Amino acid sequence: MKLKFYISLFICLLSVSLVAQEATLKTKVSKNKLGVNQRLRVEFSIDKQGGDNFSPPNFNNFKVVGGPSQSVSQSWVNGKVSFSQSYTYIIQPKRKGELSIGRASIKIGGRLIQSEPVKIIVLDAVDIPKNPNDPNYIAQQNIHLVAEISKSRPYVGEGIYVEYRLYVSENVSVYDTSVTEPPKYNGFWNQAIKINGFPVKMGKYNGENYRYIVLQKALLIPTKTGKLSIDPMKMDIVIGVPSGRSDFFGNAITRNVRREFASAKKIISPLSLPLAGKPANFTGAVGDFNFDVSLSKDILKANETSQVKVAVSGNGNLKLFELPTVETPAELEMYQPERKENVRISASGVTGTVTDTYTVVPQYKGKYKIPSVSFSYFNPNEKKYKTIATEDFFVDVQEGKELVTVDTTSVRKKEVVSTGKNFRYIATKTNFVTTKKSNFFKSNLFYILLLLPLVAIPIGIFVAKRNEERSNDVLGNKTRKAERLAKKYLSKAQRQLGKKEAFYEALERALHNYLKAKLGIETADISKERITEILEDKKIKTTTINQFIEVLKSSDFARYTPYTATQMKEEFERAKEVIVQLDKQL
């Protein structure tokens, strides 16, 4: 008796739940954009029982290839009842253009319910294989590896991000993925952005609904102008595609196919920073920043320490520029700053704070001024430079040794002492002496010129033999010629030693000009991989090629990182050596 009661109660609750919801008739298409020779699936579904007298739309401009096929599904999950009754058609467009699938209708409880019309864009005919059920063709049409970039024309130093998405249609399944070739970011400072898991999301690709996951995400900051390429990312993917057959229970049988997919090559064209309004103290900061200078103590004793903290915070290329330096009077001894970075990498760029902390130790009693410090940066959103300046700081040293000053303004007078040579009296007598004349014959010059040929002839013979030996030294001549050639191309870079940005630009230009002169090709706009191939074709040693590419990379990277004069000198010597080695082999 109780069992019958519970069954009746369950049926009543089920009926009340189904009646309580509003009935809707939805239209779902397999694709919104297709070729005139392709087909699409249209499904009309209602989410309430009792539907009757379904009336499909008048498929104007379409040809019905298959259907209708009807299916019903009902489920009870966590106390919630769901119901679906669907009608599916396979149709093919008759012409190109923007077509519309009209309203379908169905009656429930005497009330007529209609679906919304759906627009379909029909394009030119596409290539279709002889066997549309070919698993490789199905995989190619249903899976897409896409590189999405946030901005194609950023400023040099402005952060953008690239996101690699794998789009998968509902017609296939993915069982395994592996990256065979990661993307390359030549000309960019790059940093991977951490992704928490691989959640499946819904999105559109070419106007069609797809599931997708984000595989990789990276922050890119261009370091130079020109056309910079993001090379494709390649993957091997195992896909389950329908075989067109079903098992005993009616479930579709799938076939696993392994295919290689690659994202499209992306071109980024960075804009150069404007020269108009560029501050003299600009060091390459691009973004939106705040600047602050603080002094830990302004009243102290001699030999007591105080901290001067220089901090830049905000969002931008925080790791790629130098912080302003603090100038102090000679009486305040200042030590090298301690650098601290508290940053995080995200799609919006590098966010956080970079700080330089100087330790200052006063030597003498007195009041000293630390001049104001200014910081300039370029804001890409406002497209203009901004400068932030701090106020002067004063350090009052109240205890310590007094600074001894020398009065240089007063003049001490001295009596003029006559030495007998300062002034002479007017001569009243003359003492003329006959001038002696010496003959050239038997003079010192006569004997020197007489003996000169005897000395010059052996020296000339010795020099001639030395030059002959030198001309026969083929390897030595090549080395000396290569060194002269290296000095010629690197002369401008040598003059810029100590000026970081100008030095590395001149160094990179010198290397490209050398290759242009030796090989007769323009190398400034081609990738380092292509330069490697050209040098390999010229039978250049692999070690020499690697040294040349390493110098190019160092020049590219060093312009936006702190470098000392010593490191510049070492880089100059490396460039000189690699040109010498190349010239010996070319």
Whether 487 maps to a domain, the answer reads: yes
What residues pair up with 190 in beta bridges, in sequence order? 220
Q: Are residues 296 and 361 in the same domain?
A: yes
**Helix, strand, coil percent content, the chain, rounded in steps of 5:** 25, 40, 35
CA distance 283 to 410: 45
User: Quick one: pLDDT at residue 313?
Assistant: 92
Q: Are residues 140 and 119 in the same domain?
A: no
Question: Tens digit of pLDDT for each residue in 456-470?
Answer: 888 888 888 887 777
pLDDT tops 70 at residue 405:
no
Q: Are residues 183 and 248 in the same domain?
A: yes
Last residue of a domain, one of 90, 123, 156: 123
Whether 29 maps to a domain, the answer reads: yes
Q: Are residues 561 and 516 in the same domain?
A: yes
Q: Are residues 263 and 159 in the same domain?
A: yes
The answer to whether the pTM exceeds 0.85 is no
CA distance 575 to 551: 6
Q: Computed over its alpha carbons, how large is the radius of gyration of the chain?
A: 42
Q: Are residues 240 and 143 in the same domain?
A: yes
Q: Are residues 523 and 565 in the same domain?
A: yes
Whether 427 maps to a domain, the answer reads: no
Whether 414 maps to a domain, the answer reads: no
Q: How far is CA 401 from CA 301, 370, 406, in A?
A: 10, 20, 16
Which is nearest to 72 in space by CA: 55, 59, 54, 91?
Answer: 54
Whether 571 maps to a domain, the answer reads: yes
Q: Are residues 264 and 139 in the same domain?
A: yes
Q: Are residues 551 and 531 in the same domain?
A: yes
Residue 570: DSSP 8-state: H
Domain holding 43, by residue range, is: 16-123
The CATH number of residue 569's host domain is: 1.20.120
Which is nearest to 30 in space by CA: 103, 81, 77, 90?
Answer: 90
Whether 421 maps to a domain, the answer reads: no
Whether 26 maps to a domain, the answer reads: yes
Which is nearest to 236 in space by CA: 271, 214, 260, 206?
Answer: 260
> Averaging pLDDT over each range in 36-50, 145-159, 394-408, 520-534, which range is the top one?
145-159
Sequence-ordered strand ranges (E) for 169-269: 173-181, 188-192, 201-205, 208-222, 228-230, 234-246, 252-262, 266-268
Q: Are residues 543 and 572 in the same domain?
A: yes
Last residue of a domain, one of 350, 372, 399: 399
CA distance 439 to 85: 135
Average pLDDT of the chain, as a whole number: 80
The CATH number of residue 105's host domain is: 2.60.40.10
Whether 404 maps to a domain, the answer reads: no
Amino acid at 54: F
Question: Tens digit of pLDDT for each residue in 499-510?
Answer: 777 777 887 777
Question: Tens digit of pLDDT for each residue in 235-265?
Answer: 898 888 776 666 666 566 777 888 888 888 8
Looking at the structure of the chain, the number of domains it has is 4
Last residue of a domain, one of 223, 239, 268: 268
